[in-house]
Amino acid sequence: MSRLAKKPISIPYGTEVINIDFMVSFSGPKGELKYFLHKSIKINIENNLLYVKQNVDIDYNKAILGTTYVILVNMINGVNNGFSKKLILKGVGYKAKIEKNILELSLGYSHPVFYKIPFGINIEVLNNIEVIIAGICKQKVGQVAADIRSKRLPEAYKGKGIRYSDEIILLKETKKK
């Protein structure tokens, strides 16, 4: 059994959890998320505590048990607090702006790069070079941040490109004569 799954998940006040067959629904102040459980996983809700158990004791199910536990914790955290990632554009002339539901990035190419903002994600631009991505689904926020970052990865000599705010880029030394 997963070491994580031995501990119960506490359900905060104001969060509603509904378990119907193999579907779990979480609703809180920020929104609502649904998750479909694997057939070998079951959950029990008792006294504002959520217990994740496995039906059959197989090694494969143990891995799914730990993964399911972490996903459920992230969903509860997401509907209560939400998640956010911050990207920084570094380079001469690099800037971002939002028009309607499209993020427009100037990244040193001969043309602007457009990114359509998916449903459930909020993007905010600060100082034309800081992009904050927020939402209730941790996986979706991380995927959107990775998609935007992939438009211009940081390069190794000057560090120009799109980077996470907490990312450290190791710069290479230039050639010497």
For 27-59, how does the pLDDT look when each residue is reduced to its tens digit (9 = 90+)? Answer: 999 999 999 998 888 899 998 999 998 887 676
Predicted model pTM: 0.88
Assess whether pLDDT exceeds 70 at residue 110: yes
From residue 90, how far is each of 11, 14, 38, 72, 94 by CA, in Å?
A: 41, 41, 43, 36, 6
Which DSSP category does 54 fall into? E
User: Above pLDDT 90, what percent of the chain?
Assistant: 70
From residue 113, how far is each of 88, 103, 118 by CA, in Å?
A: 16, 8, 16
Provide the token pair at 12.
Answer: 């905060």
Assess whether pLDDT exceeds 80 at residue 7: yes
In this prediction, residue 1 has a pLDDT band, given cuts at 50, 70 and 90, of low
Assess whether pLDDT exceeds 70 at residue 2: no
Q: What is the pLDDT of residue 113?
A: 95
Which residues of the chain form beta strands (DSSP E)? 9-10, 16-20, 23-27, 32-36, 41-46, 49-54, 83-90, 95-99, 102-106, 113-116, 121-126, 130-135, 161-164
Per-residue pLDDT tens over the stretch 112-138: 999 999 999 999 999 999 999 999 999
Per-residue pLDDT tens over the stretch 134-143: 999 999 999 9
Rounded-to-integer distance, Cα 19 and Cα 24, Å: 5
Mean pLDDT of the chain: 91
Q: What is the pLDDT of residue 175?
A: 80
